[in-house]
Amino acid sequence: MGPGWVSSALTLVRRHIRIVNIAGAAMLIILGLLMVTGVRGRWIYELQNLSGTFLTPI
């Protein structure tokens, strides 16, 4: 079950490798722009505040 699933998933990725590469490059460019503008830092700060107030139900 496991090896067959992995093999089919890799076949799918190999078939669409150009799209995967373009999507990865676009994500890197967007992340770089967010870092340069300082937006990423603000988002991380807000997520830290949000996670600091999170209480587990147990």
Average pLDDT for residues 5-13, to the nearest whole number? 86
With 80 as the cut, is the pLDDT of residue 3 above it? no
**pLDDT over 70 (residue 2):** no
Annotated domain spans of the chain: 2-52
How does pLDDT run across 24-45, given as a tens digit for each residue?
A: 999 999 999 999 999 999 999 9
10, 13, 14, 17, 38 from 7: Cα distances, Å: 5, 10, 10, 15, 41
Is the CB of residue 33 less than 8 Å from the CB of residue 41? no
Q: How far apart are CA 25 and CA 41, in angstroms?
A: 21
- Model's pTM, two decimal places? 0.65
